[in-house]
Structure formats: structure tokens, C-alpha cells
Structure 1
Amino acid sequence: MFQEARPLWPAGLADAMNITCGIRAKFQAEPQTPALVRVTASSRYRIYVNGLFCGHGPAAGPHGYYRVDEWDVTPYLGSGSNDVAIETAGYNVNSFYTLDQPSFVQAEVEQSGQIAAATGSAAHPFAVFVLPERMRRVQRYSFQRAFIEAYALTPDTHAWRTSDALPASPAQAEIAEEKRLLPRRVSYPRFDVAAPHAVLATGTFGKSGSPAAPWRDRSISSVGPAFKGFPLEELEVVPTDEIGELAMTGWNREARRYEGQALQLLAGETALLAFGRNSSGFIGMEFTVSAKSRIALTFDEILTEDGDVDHLRLGCANVIYAECEPGTYTLESIEPYTLQYLKVLVLEGDCKVTGCSIREYANPDADRGTFASSDAALNAIFEAARETFRQNAVDVFMDCPSRERAGWLCDSYFTARVEADLTGSSVIERNFFENYALPESFAFLPEGMLPMCYPADHNDGVFIPNWSLWFVLQLEEFRDRGGDEATIASLLPRIEALFQYFEGFRNEFGLLENLESWVFIEWSKANDFIGGINYPTNMLYAAALEAAGRIYGADAYLEEAAYVKQTVREHSFDGAFFVDQAIEDEQGELEILDHRTEVCQYYAAYFGIADAEELPVWFDSLLQDFSPSRDKDAAFVADIGGIHPANAFIGYYLRMELLSRHGATAQLLEEIKAFFGKMAERTGTLWEHNRTQASCNHGFASHVARALYRDALGIKSLNSQRGKLTVAFTDNALASCSGTLPTPDGDIALSWRAEGDTIFYRLSAPSSLTVEIENHSGKSLVKEEEER
């Protein structure tokens, strides 16, 4: 993929933790003459051309492989001499976001087919530096990500990007071994820059008379051989400790619109700014200090009850720290973060803030799909789902763009559906599966097991066996979405090895028993009943066997699935509900325990263990006696036969599917509004739970967009592999709805309105699709127009 560039890094530092490398080259160009920068790196890089930001990457790839980006830099060029500068942060720590692999950067500038500069080139090389401004020995940002950003700045810190000023003595470059390269495929973000909407407050702070105990999250306390980082006693600064000793001494809550006005702050003063909604990207600030100063930026998705920022709420260190000599600065984080509120604290000296921003790092294709209904609350929820997706699907399906940026299985099953709905493609999903297909093996995991999230390092050997089964279910849907057949075929050995792994845990009944590691159902009481035979896990196991059988035409998997499903029915159903667990007693006899959870019932319904025809009383109870908004107290549990309540993921998401399948669309839309409405209003994104103790921007929550397309608009299903579109009209209590769903062959556009006993609709779809119309609304249908 590269013509001349070779991978390199400052000599002797390829395995060192938290090194920031800079490379720079000058080249001659003419404006509007096509030019690109081709680049990849380990761990993260950003590019400046003539001092202007123009890219960040690379896209996620598996261990031992690196995706190559090609940035069109033509709009940034001037006549004559031009500067390209690339900063690369090489972390060399295990995480769920960036891989623990030796640091390197490989880049070249191409103009009109000729290489103007290339790493490792003798004729037109890049100069190489170790950038001194970023402090190395700092705490981890979180258990799941690498290091916080802490800086020691001088006014000429960034001058090297656009001049011959040297940030440090040039480093001797060491050429690394050749890398295995992959195409990026996924779209390049637009990097839109947004300013805060308001200055919510200003205030003063000082040392607390009774500071809380220092924050000793596992990202600090667990540093050691299995979890890499710098020990606490070696850290240059510990911003979370210093900020933890502070307390607000006064607030001026007179909010005012932010219009770029300067904010003059002295030591012990703070300003609180609001961006209007949750955003993910690179935090920027322009400021001047007249004396040696120390500044901290803290941020979060929400405010505390007393209107402040809790930078530790999410279990990560939401802080950027800077020590500054007198001068004027433009500082932008090299890592993306998620926030709605930003707090500037002057710990020492002074600070005149003259600009503030977030450069968004988000999917650029998520605005292709549209949705509008007669219910404003549903419209707001759809837009929050879109926003949640675009921030969680840059190059891999992430759980959250903040604490982890990790590509979790099961989460991906739901988010992948939204990619197809909003963007009309499954290119991220293709990369997602390719990342799992290419490595020869997965370190620290048993043979055959798939990582619970990937690309990621799992040095502690922890895995979720259940999540590997969701991988199989997603793969079948990927095929139905028209997914790449070569990728699907390449994963057959992975699937076979996975089921061979599970064979070792099948008992005399043919059920999985006493699975290893972290058996996970959801964040609810259900996770207390995972020992022995866990019936929800076996329900999922049967579904995965079925999916594998259909994907690869393997009758043996289908037969095993049928056997497991029948055995689960016989063991788990107690005459009223399905129980979660059975164990062997002291005599070796199977004892089916009286543990019943709401989510177990949803597993049974979703995976076809039972349905409304077989068990109508049970099924009716699921629809009528449970809901996300019902009180989840002890009295409720007692009233519903001692059944423990479900949590958001995955229980309530399975419930949404259950209601949809049963045609209870009006009930479903009301439950959607009750559950998601406050999230859309408060953060503009959708949350991990129904409370704010965790992420308020979680990828799987964007799945509600699928529900709205299907159950409000009426686009019931699209099978791209078979070329079939099904539209279903139901009695969902809406007066009207319209929307577009993009496909590779063009948009599907549907709009309808209900007038009395008639639904008037318009539908256009690509000619490649066969359209089937279903009417479950109880009204007559009138097609006003159809364009094919």
C-alpha cells in the first residue's frame, strides 16, 4: 500500500510506554494539485498540514495488522513550500482500545503520483523527534484505555509543525520490521468543530477542609505485570489527587450565552461551560497566561445534583492537565473524549480563555437515514439514537466513546443493525468481523474462545463465553444484510473451534454446565444464578447452533440446537415461568432451583424456546405484567411470582423485540418514550442504564432507531441477500410517519398518514427489491403513489 515509506520510531523506544513522537517534512506543491498523506501507526496519530489539523487515526485493526489511511490534503496546500507534521502517541500498554504492540509510524506524502516525502526514505525523509511536551509518567485514564494527557507547555511548543524550529534534538530513527497492512474501508470523519453554547457558571475553589480519600481506581491500584502502567510512586503528577483535595467556595450561577468572549480567571477560579448535548472528540482551548500557571480541564456528560462536574463519575480520569510558561497557547487533546460540560480550573497563576471547542470524532454517514412522526418525543429519541450511533461507530462498534472505546460482542449485534439502517452499508461490520478472522490465535484465552471485545488485550485471561455466541448470531444477520461472503467463509474455522470449545462443557443432558470465566447474562439478579446449568445461556447456545447451521449448511448444528431447545423446555419451565438455574446436589442429582428472572423469560421468548401459541398465559404475562417503567421494588418481585426484574441491556432490548414480534406496537412506542425520553432530553444521547451512574452515551442504545423504523414507520424487514423488503402497517396510535432508509441501491422512502379508518401511504424502493405489504392495522390501505 505504501510506495516508499517504511515503519520507524525513535531508536530504542519502540517498547517504551507513553512516548509521543513527531515527524515532519517539507515539500514543494502547487495549490489544487491533488495530494494525499498515506499513514498508519501504533498507537494513535494526528496530522497537521501547514499547521492545520486534517486527520486522526488509524482505523482499528487486529493484532499484527495495521489499517492504512489516505488523507486528501489538497485543500490545505499553499504555493511553494508546505509542511506536514504527524504526531504519534505510542502507548505500549494493554487496553481495550489501543493494542499493546511496539510503537511505530509509517507515512508518505504523494502528489501527482510522485512521493514527496516518506518515512525511512534516504532521498526525501521525515525528520524524527521525541516530543517533550507530553508528560510520560502519568496515571492511566481508565482500566480500559491508556494514559491521561498531561503537558508541560512553552509558547513555542507547537512551532515545529510549521517552521524550522525544533521541538527537541532530532532523534535517531530506527526502522522497524515490515508491517502487515489492511485497507481502512470505513469512511473518514468530518471533524466538525463545535463551540460551547453557554457559560453556565463561574466560581472559586480552595483546599477542602475534609478531602475525600484519594481515588484509587484499579487503573491506578492494579498496575503491575498483568496491567501495564507506571506505579503510583513513579508518577510525575497525579491530577486526580490534587483536584480531589479541592472544594468549591462560591458560585456565580448567572448563565450567559457563550459567543467566544474572553474569560479571565485567576488562581483558584473556575468557569463551567456547556456544549448543549453530549459530544465526542478532541477538546480544544485557546488561552493566554501571564505568569507560570497550572491549568486543569475536567469534563463529564452530566452535572451533579449541585451543578458541578464530577470528573470521576464514570470510573475514569476525565481530566487534562497543563503546566504553562507565560505565553499564548492553542491546545487540543490528541485523544477523543465524551462530554457535555467542561470545567476550567486555574490551579496556579492565571488564564485568559479566548476560545474553547470540541472537534467531533464521529461517523460521517449516519445522517443518510431520516425519520419523522406525529409524536415529537419519538422524533427526539430517534435523533438521540442517531447521535449515539455516530459517536460510537467511527471505525468499530464501540460500547461507549468515553471510558472504553471498546468493540464488545453482543453490543455489536445490536449496533450493527443500526449501521445498515442509518448508513445503508455494513462496512464497519465487515471490518469488525475481519478483525476477528485474521489473528492466528488470541493470547491469554482458551483455544477456540473468542475475545469478549476486540481489538483489545486480555492479559488477565477474562472472557465472556456467552458473548462469543452472540458473535454467531450477528454473523448470520451480517449475511442477510448482504455481508461479504469471503469474510463469512473465512470465519468457519473460528465457528467450528468455538463450538468444539463448548463441547467440553456439555453434561449428560447435552446442556452447558459450569462454564469458565465471566458468565454474563445482564446487569441484574440474573447474574447471581450462573453456576451449574444456566438456562438463559443454554437458550442462547441453542440459537447460536441454529444460526451456524443455517449459515454454513451444517445439519449437525441444527440437530444439536433442536435437542438443546427441547431439553431446556423440559427442565426450565416450572408450569408458570422459566427458571434460571439448576445444580447438582451432594448426591449428584440434578436440582432445579427456584430462581426466576424477568430476563430469563425474554431469553426464552426471543430464542424460540416457547411462544404465545405454546404458552399463551405465560406470554400474556410477559406483555402485561412487566415493563421497564414499572416499579422494581420488593413488592413488585413478590407480586410477579418472585421474579427478579431485568435491566436495560439486554433484557429491555429483548423485550422491545418481543413486543414488536407480537404486534404490540402502540405499547412498544409508549414504553420507548417512557424509557428513552428523559435520556434524549438530558444528554441528547442514549444511556447504558436507565440511570446516570454509568455511560450516558452507549452504542447499543442506538438500536431504538431500528425499533422506530420498524414499529413506527413500518419498514418491518429488509433482507438484502434475498432482495426482499417487507412493509407492515400496525395499529401503533400514530397519526403519521415518514422516513428514508438507505440501501446500496438507493433509498427506501415511506410515508403514511391515518385518517379515520384509512391509511394513505407512499412508498418508493430500489427496483432490485421485491416488496411485500402487510396490513395489521385494522384500517384499509390506500396507496397514493409508488415510485419504482
Structure 2
Amino acid sequence: MGQQEINWKAQWIWGGNEESPRNEWRCFRNTFRLPSGRLDGAALSLTADSRYVLYVNGERVGRGPVRSWPFELAYDTYDVGHLLKPGKENIIAVMVLHYGITNFYYLRGRGGLLAQLEVNQNGIQSIQASTDEGWKTSLHLGHDPRSPRMSCQHGFVERVDARLWPEGWVSNDYNDQTWGAATVIGEAGDAPWTTLVPRDIPLLTEEPIYPLRVESLQQVKPISWSTNIDMRNQMMPESTNHANFVGKIGYVATVVRVSSPVKATFGFLNSRFNFGPCSINGTWYSPEQLPGEFPQKFVVADLKEGDNFFLMDVTGVEHGDGFHMGIDCEEPFELISPWPSDEHSSPFITIGPYAVFERIDHKDVYDPIPRFRKVMSLYESGNIQKGELTSAEAAYLQAKSISSASELAIIHEWIRPIPNALVSRDNVFALSIWKREAVSHKVPSSMQNVVIAHVEPALIPLFGDADTEIILDFEKEYSGYIEFEADAAEGTVLDFYGFEYMHEGWRQDTYRLDNTMRYTCREGRQRYVSLVRRGLRYLMITVRSASRPVKLYEVKLRQSNYPIAEIGRFHSSDALLNDIWRISQHTTRVCMEDTFVDCPAYEQTFWVGDSRNEALINYYMFGATDIVKRCLKLVPGSKFQTPLFADQVPSGWSSVIPNWTFFWAIACSEYVEHTGDIAFAEEMWPHVRFTLDHYLTNLDSKGLLFMRGWNFLDWAPIDQPGHGAVSHQNMFLVKTLREASMLAEIAGDMEGAHSYRAASLKLAQAINTHLWSEEHKAYIDCIHADGRPSSVLSMQTQVVAFLSGVADKDRKRQIEAHLAFPPEHFVQIGSAFMSFFYYEALSQIGLTEIMVEDIRKNYGTMVKYESSTCYEGYPKLIDGQIHPRQLTRSHCHAWSAAPGYFLGHEILGVRRAAPGWAKIVIAPKPIAGLTWAKGTVPLPQGGRVDVSWSIREENKTMEIKASVPEGHEMEIIAPTGYRLEILPNALRN
């Protein structure tokens, strides 16, 4: 029946005593008898806060909803008629995963489920089931609500104990008599979900992908103990309602009790901000990195018999990555609270915070930490006296001197026990990367059965008192849901850990991303499909606490992405370019979820600026337009956070990158040009005007955009301060104002079109007056907040000067020379994202040869190291060489897939020459080394452009065959120096 507007009779329901519980999985069931008779259709519409998985009569139907603002919540409609049984009992079962915290793709609302089943039976339309107090609900008792956050961007790690919850709870014959009645919490349209809108894109795919081989087999012994503490939420409880940075000054403390003296290693993992000094029984240590390439830090200390007081300074600013800690010791030990507590409290306390604050990047927020650290340094050097300290600073120093739990009473007013809810039972990520012992074994051929789709299982061996670890290689990076089938003894623990890269046995771990899952087995054969999306290429599986060998029948990933056909094609006489195009295609595909996302592993976040380039790449590879339209329409929802619009949405991080807003406005204009959708121009123009008018209020007396913000463009040492007039930002605003004037004209706002054209010209004039260096014949990077002109010259700034049209006449020719022959003293391009703009400039100048050589060089490195996807950043050179263990952070990042666009745009030469592709120009570029190329570019209304060309160098002739659908005008342009020979086409697609 598809997505449709619903007349909601259903009511919002929930269960339990908390409106928005932390990390709760709640199950719902409704049993109803469908009358006998012919069933002509049935549509089940639903939505939930935060995510749901839907089952009908035991069959899993779908997952949702798509990411959306809570005040404009999307719902899904499923055709379920084929699953219903007229004249019999039917069951609708829904699992709702409620985060209870805000992250980078969800804003905290409250727990809730809304569902309504409408059937057309015997010619009569009726509602057969809708959420109300007649539905039953229960917590998923096998889910561990104390599982830690995956990262500041994500929700929570998945941990399930199959012994505690029956797999068949979704089926008709399950007895739910012990379940409670759901509670009605509101009507459709009640806050916080004041508007309900039908899903505006198709349902995502779920395609089973098997690994290709078992990469390794090891027997391993884990460290003694580990945990992850949500220190951000502890120090600022209200931070559950936003995803902004939290700064805090204070300590964490516990007591380690041992029965005899022993040496212990304290490890601090995966935490960017919390590597402060720590004290054990009053002796202070600075955590140090042990030999190797791992960023975790350690303290090795002697513990005395009895109680050992541990105190660590956790002063710093963080997003919510968690405080990852482990202890390894040869003797048993116990952690106990150093302060009286109840059964809901963990063995940890915090002391402080002595200051705590929320930092919003585009606002001038006071940060006390730099002053605090300076004061502490002055005090320790004797330059100020204790009497000159504030009460909080004095209390901080008093706590620092404590060496035992018995001394805590003197600072009791600063002590807060950390609740169990914020402390994970253990840390699967830590156990996966930090091992006391690891011994490699050869992989038996029979173990490869786990990657083969047949009936014979792989037998996972036992190694005495050690655990067994295998690593599976999927060959490519994917994004989706782990599924496995195993036969195991009750209580066997299966730990899963996904990561992106290995090199000659070395593993790049996902620091700052807990990409793990734990499943505790019930007795016998069992299957599990995970509920949490994760991205990975490699999957480590560690078998723990097994009393007999595990039979692993299969492991696979349900690859989930926006449903697209791979219409685009590129193939040429250069095998390297072909490989580069394919990794660009795969990168883009796995980064297309319900929006474009930056990467499938680390973030899964819709970064607004990234998606402009990703939209263009997608146009040439897949031709999808609904996902682009959806992304563009989501952005104005952030105006309640800032009129400048946020750089990632829908998100609780109120962060602004001005260029990202500019790219959004440009992408709106490009979408209209690509599709010819005038109605979209009319819809979006007021939003574009709203935010640009607010940006224009930030022009200074020179006429330049001079503002505080995340004034970012590239991961390179360009001069882009957080406050000042940044050149690339001003230049992109010139281009944005010009694009906005065209959008205004299409939308019928002629006054706005004139106003923005004038503003664009005036800003360009100011840039040329104040940001051009006549001495260097180039544009400087910025003017600092104190009025000081930057001494930095960068390729980034020159690229944007060209693209924005700021540089004209002699200056334009000078900039073109810089782009063709980059001066060595200029800051060079630092990321594949920035390369997209560089390639745009080179293609406009006609320097395709330089562009392709740059692609071969930088993307060829990715192919060399067997990447199936494009890196987030280019590898840094170490002593002039690329180090295979320091290639990049994210190995799959859609902002980097530029070749997917430019090889079609330049080498095939397929270009839009009129709105909606009414006219198509084909102007191939036969660069040196290419003798032929062929491929396909999809069109927005359906159909495609097919191009095939080859070169006869002896007479400088290009043979070309091209076809476009009926109704499109086509012009073929010969490359400079070549004669065209147009071959006939048998078909027009």
C-alpha cells in the first residue's frame, strides 16, 4: 500500500515508570482475531521513539523509523496482508529501542509506540488493531541496560543474554500472561511528536553478505577486569538532553581490595580527553603509552594488601565517548566504593565537579578549564598562595591530597556515587583489544565452513582455560546487522567486534568507537539477528566460557542501504581508474542510509556539507533523487538550535560550520537544476533566505563575513581560525549568494534575486580589496579577530577563489597558474573532500590531465592497500613514505568518493546542459594513456546516457557511440585536436 497520510485513531503507548529510560528495550504485543472472508489489503502504520523492529505473526517485517526531528516524526506503512490470517488469531509484536539520551542522529523525546492496522476485507475498510491500553508490554529481560555508549555519535552497544528472554516472544503461541498492560501516554499529535509525517523514501534494503574467509585463529586470555563509565552524564546529568561538549573539573575514585601485595596494570582506553594523572594510595602517576602503536595509556603500580585508594583527575572537555578503564592483575581483586552507597550505586564515586559547563561551538561560552590549569600551575610553582584561590580551586587541591578512603569525609559535600546505570558490567571493546596472552594457530580448512553457505558448521576449538578468537574478512566494508547461527552450551559467551582494516596481521582498532556486540547463549542451536546497525569489514568473534566446542553454522551481515540500482558504469583502458571508480561506487552505496552518512562505522551521521558532494556523486552513479531531497529538507529543522543551521542533522550537537550551510544552499539550487523541480525551489527558498539573511548580519565594517564558528573546510594546516574573516568561507558565501539569487528567481522572488546578486558582487569586491596579497599574487587565508592578516597561503583558498568567481581578469589567470602548478610553499590539499573542489576547478579550467593524475596518485594508494572504499583523509607521509599502519582513521567515508562523479563528468564527458537534463552535452576528454572508455550515467526522470569511445591516434580520430532517451536533446563535442566519428546506435534507452 506504500507510504500514505494516516487518519490516526491509535494512541501513543509506553510501559514502566520512566518517561525516557536510559537504554531500554521494551517489547509490545497485540493479539486480535481477523474476521473470515476475502482480504483485499492490509496496511500497518507505525512509528516509535527511538527505534523499532516490527514482527507480524512471527515474521520480521521492518525496522524504523527514519531519522527525523521529534517535532516532525516520520512513520512507516507496511503492506502486511500476505502475513495475516483471516478467521484466526493474529499477533503484532514490536521491539522498541529507546535511547534515553540525545546523540548525533536522534534528539531525546520520550519512550513511545504508535501503531495502527487498517484492513480492506469484504469490501469494507476498518481498523483492526491500534495501540491502546489493550496492548501488552514487557521489558526485554535479556537486554543489558548497562551496556555502554558506542560513541558520542551513537546509541548503545548491543548485549543480549538469550537465557533470559525467549526467542519466540514474537510468535502466536507465546504466552504473554505475565506481561503488563501498556499505558496510554497521549494522542497522535501530542508533544513531543507534534507532527507525524509519512516516510519520504523507500524502505532500506537488507541483503545477506557472507564473509570470504577466516583470516586468523588465536587462543587468547583477557585482562582481569574492565568497564566504561559515562562520566559526561555523571558530571552533568542534564547532558542527556543534548550532544554538545561538556567540560568538567573533578576526579573519579574507587578502592581496589587485594588479599596480598601484587603488581597491577591500570589501562585507560579509547578516551580522547580523560588521560589525566592518577593517584594510588597518594602516589601520583602520569599514564604513559606502552611501546607499540596503540593510543591507550597505562599505569603499572604496586598494590598493598588490603584497600588501595585510586583517584584520577578527569578534568577536560568531552562529547560522551565514555571513560574506558581496565585493570590487569595476577591475583584476584575486588572493587568497592570508597564512600557509603546503596544497591543502585557502583564501586565508583566522583569528587566534584568543581566546574561544569556546556560548550556550543558557535556561541561565546565561558570555559574555565584553561584558567583553572594556569592557576594550578602557578600555585604549584609557588607564584600564588592558597589564599588567592577560589573555594572550588582550594577544594580541588584538598581532594588531590587524599590518599585513602578514610580521608574523604573532609570533602563530603563534593562526593557523588556513580549509579550502576552509568557503569558497564565489563567492556567488550577493551577485552577485544587488550589481552594478557595471544597465541596464533593455523586455520583448519574445516573452519572455513563458517563463511560458506552450506549445512556443515565450523567447529570452534577450545584451548583449556583460554578463550578462542577468530577473525572473519568480508573483503569489503559493509553497513548493517550481524546475523549468526550457532550450536552452543548454555552460558557460552560470543563477543563480536567489527573493525575496518588489517595489514599483515596488524589490526587497526576503532578507538573512540565501541563497535562490539555480546551474545550469551542458551542451550542448543540458535539464531540471532542484531538490532543495532554497525559498519565493518572484519569481524572478530571471541568465544568465552564455553564448556564444549561451539558449532558455528554461519555468520553474515545484513547489508542495509538506500535501495538503489547500480545504473552508473565506468570502464576504460586504465585498470587502475576502473578500480578507483568501483571503490568510489561502493563507498557511496554503503554511506546511503536513510540519509547520506559520513561513514558506516564511526559516526553514521548526516553531515550537511558532505552531502552536497555526495549528492553529485550519487547522481552519476545511482541517479537517486528522493534521498537528496530528504536530506535537503531536514536541514531547516535545526533553526531552533541556530538560525545559521547546524552542520549535522537531526542532531543534539548544536554545531555550525558555515561552509556546510553554504553547501546546503548550493545543493538546493543544484537539485532544482538536476531535476527541474520548480515546486522544490518554491518550498526551500524561504529557508535559504532565512539563514542567509542571518549570515549577512555578520558582515563587518570592511564588508567581510567576520564571525565566530567552526570555520572549517579541510583537514590541513590552513589558517581558518574560530573567530575572524576566513577567506574560503567568504568566498563560498559569494557563490552561495549567487546560487541563491538563481533559486529566488525560479521561486518567483525577483526582489530577492536582485538583492542577493548585489550582495554577492559587493562581498566579492570586499574580498578582493582586503584578502588579496599583491606581493604573493594570491589570496591570504584570513584576517584574524585582532585584525592581523594571515601570513598563510593555501591551495584551498585559491581553489575556492576560482570556484566562487571572486578572482577575475589578471587575478583569475594567476590563480589558474597556481592550480596548474601548486607552489611548494602553499599549504597543499589535505583531504579527499577538498580534492572534490580542486577537481571542480581543474575541470572548469580544462586541466583534466592534472585531475586524473591526482586521482591516480591519491586513490591509487587506497587500491594498493586493498581498500574496497575511499579513505576519510589522505595518508600522512612519515619520512617521505606512506606507513601502512597509519593510513587514515575512517576507511570508508562518502565525502571522499569524488572519482565516481568526475570520471563520468570528464572522461565520459556526460554533462547536463539544461534544467532537468532536457539537453545533454557529451564532451569526452581522452587524456594521455587512455585509448578507450565506456560507461553510463543515470538520468533523474529515469533512463540513462550510454557513452562509448575509442581513439585512433594515427589519424587523431575519436570513434564515439552515445545514446540518450527520447525527449532529451543531445550534443556531442569533439575533444580538442580530434576529429569525431559518430557511430550509429541500435537502441535508444
TM over 0.5: yes
- The alignment status of 1:119 with 2:119, answered yes or no, reads no
Out of 657, 678, 688, which is 1:464 matched to?
657
User: Structure 2 vs 1, CA of residues 360 and 244 (structure 1 numbering), >3 Å: closer, same or farther?
Assistant: closer
What is the Cα deviation at residue 199 of structure 1? 0.8
Alpha-carbon displacement from aligned partner over 1:501-521 (angstroms, at most 9, x marks no partner): 2233211110012x2232212
Q: Which runs of 5+ in 1 are unaligned?
A: 626-639
Q: Corresponding residue for 2:384?
A: none
1:94 deviation in Å? 1.0
Unpaired runs of 5+ residues, structure 2, are: 190-194, 224-263, 273-317, 324-349, 351-355, 360-417, 746-752, 876-886
Distance, in Å, in 2 between the alignment partners of 1:264 and 1:168 is: 39
Are positions 1:442 and 2:449 aligned together? no
Which residue is equivalent to 1:605? 802
Rounded Cα–Cα distance in structure 1 between residues aligned with 2:584 and 2:177: 46
Are 2:106 and 1:98 equivalent residues in the alignment? yes
Q: Alpha-carbon deviation of 1:117?
A: 4.5
Could you list the per-position Cα deviations for residues 82-126 of structure 1 after superposition, in whole angstroms to 9, with x for gaps in the alignment?
54432121112111122312222222344446557533258xx64
Q: What is the CA–CA distance in structure 1 between the aligned matches of 2:187 and 2:526, rounded to whole Å?
A: 38
1:643 Cα deviation after fit: 1.6
Say yes or no: does 1:583 pair with 2:587.
Answer: no
* Other-structure match for 2:889: 694
Matched, 1:87 2:95: yes
Matched position secondary structure for 1:249: strand
- Matching of residue 240 in structure 1 with residue 429 in structure 2: yes
Map of 1:321 onto structure 2: 518
Letter in 2 for 1:47: L
Q: Matches of 2:728 and 2:461 in 1, distance apart?
A: 56
Residue aligning to 1:264? 460
Q: Tell me the amino acid that sits aligned with residue 855 of structure 2.
A: I
1:62 to 37, 54, 69: 69
What is the number of residues matched between the two proteins?
Answer: 758
CA distance in 1, matches of 2:984, 2:782: 54
- Which residue of 2 is the match for residue 43 of structure 1? 50
| Cα drift, residue 396 of structure 1 | 0.9
Number of the residue aligned with 1:410:
609
1:739 is matched with which residue? 935
Q: Distance in 2 between matches of 1:34 and 1:226?
A: 51
Report the Cα offset of residue 649 of structure 1.
4.6
1:526 alignment partner in structure 2? 718
Asked if 1:715 corresponds to 2:928, the answer is no
Q: 2:216–2:472: 8 Å Cα contact kept in structure 1?
A: yes
What secondary structure sits across from 1:491 in the alignment? helix
Residue 185 of structure 1 is aligned with which of 200, 203, 212?
Answer: 200
User: Aligned residue for 1:10?
Assistant: 15
Does the 8 A contact of 2:55 with 2:92 survive in 1?
yes
Q: Which amino acid aligns with 1:468?
A: T
Relative to structure 1, is the Cα distance of residues 581 and 456 closer, same or farther in structure 2, using a 3 angstrom cutoff? same
Q: Any residues of structure 2 matched to 1:58-457 within 5 Å, and which? A: 58-73=65-80, 82-112=90-120, 114=125, 117-120=128-131, 126-154=135-163, 157-166=166-175, 169-175=178-184, 176-179=186-189, 180-207=195-222, 212-217=267-272, 218=318, 219-221=320-322, 234-254=423-443, 256=445, 257=448, 258-259=451-452, 261-266=457-462, 267-303=466-502, 306-308=505-507, 310=509, 312-313=510-511, 315-350=512-547, 351-437=550-636, 439=637, 442-443=639-640, 445-446=641-642, 448-457=643-652
Residue 690 of structure 1 aligns with an amino acid whose one-letter code is: Y
Answer with 406-415 or 606-615: which moved more.
606-615
Structure 1 residue 264 displacement after superposition: 1.9
> What SS does the corresponding residue of 1:776 show, helix, strand or coil?
coil
Pair 1:11–1:231, CA change in 2 (3 A): closer
Provide the C-alpha distance between the structure 2 equivalents of 1:722 and 1:368, rounded to a whole number of angstroms: 17
- Counterpart pick for 1:480 among 648, 673, 684: 673
Identity %: 21
Separation of aligned partners in 2, 1:770 and 1:406: 39
Letter in 1 for 2:188: E
Give the letter aligned to residue 512 of structure 1. L
Q: Does 1:663 align with 2:663?
A: no
Q: Could you say if the C-alpha distance between residues 425 and 273 of structure 1 is closer, same or farther in structure 2, counting changes exceeding 3 Å?
A: closer
1:251 Cα offset (Å): 1.1
Residues 336-377 of structure 1 deviation map (CA, whole Å, 9 limit, x = unaligned): 111111111123235432221100111221412222222222
Counterpart residue number, 1:645: 828
Contact 1:301/1:683 (CA < 8 Å) preserved in 2?
no
Relative to 1, partners in 2 of residues 1:379 and 1:25: Cα closer, same or farther, differing over 3 Å?
A: farther
- 1:767 corresponds in structure 2 to 966
CA distance in 2, matches of 1:415, 1:40: 28
Q: Deviations over 1:132-170 (max 9, x none)?
A: 221112211111111111122218521111243357932
Contact (CA 8 Å) 2:960, 2:981: kept in 1 or not? yes
1:484-499 alignment, distance < 5 Å: 484-499=677-692
Q: Deviations over 1:656-710 (max 9, x none)?
A: 1122112222332232222223435623111211234322111222332111111
Is contact 2:608–2:647 with CA below 8 Å preserved after alignment? yes
The answer for the alignment partner of 1:506 in structure 2 is 699
Once residues 605 and 495 of structure 2 are traced to their aligned partners in structure 1, the CA distance between those partners, rounded to angstroms, is 26
Please say if residues 433 and 487 of structure 1, whose CA atoms lie closer than 8 Å, have aligned partners that are also in contact. no
SS in 1 for 2:888: coil
Give the aligned CA root-mean-square deviation in angstroms: 3.0
Aligned partner of 2:131: which letter?
Answer: G
Equivalents in 2 of 1:492, 1:741: separation in Å?
A: 29
Residue range with higher mean Cα deviation, 280-289 or 299-308: 299-308
Match for residue 761 of structure 2? 562
1:131–1:655 CA distance, 2 compared to 1 (3 A) = same
Matched with 1:634 is none
Letter paired with 1:184: R
CA distance in 2, matches of 1:183, 1:36: 13
Aligned to 2:375: none
Please tell me whether the aligned partners of residues 524 and 645 of structure 1 are also in contact (alpha carbons under 8 angstroms): yes
Larger radius of gyration: 2
- Structure 1 residues 166 and 737: alpha-carbon distance in aligned structure 2, compared to 1, 3 A threshold: farther
Residues 802 and 812, structure 2, Cα contact 8 Å, conserved in 1? no
> Scaled by the length of structure 2, what TM-score is found?
0.72
Cα distance, 1:289 vs. partner?
Answer: 2.5
Q: Could you tell me how far 1:48 is from its partner in structure 2? A: 3.0
Task: State the distance in 1 between where 2:357 and 2:488 align.
Answer: 41
Question: How many angstroms apart in 2 are the aligned matches of 1:703 and 1:232?
Answer: 44
- Tell me by how many angstroms 1:50 deviates: 4.3
Q: What's the TM-score once normalised by structure 1's chain length?
A: 0.89
Q: Deviations over 1:534-570 (max 9, x none)?
A: 1111111111111111211321111111121122123
SS of corresponding position for 2:982: strand
Q: Cα deviation per residue 1:157-198 (whole Å; 9 max; x = unaligned)?
A: 211112433579323322333142222231223311111111
- The amino acid that maps onto 1:56 is R
Distance 1:494 1:197 in 2: 48
Q: Aligned residue for 1:629?
A: none
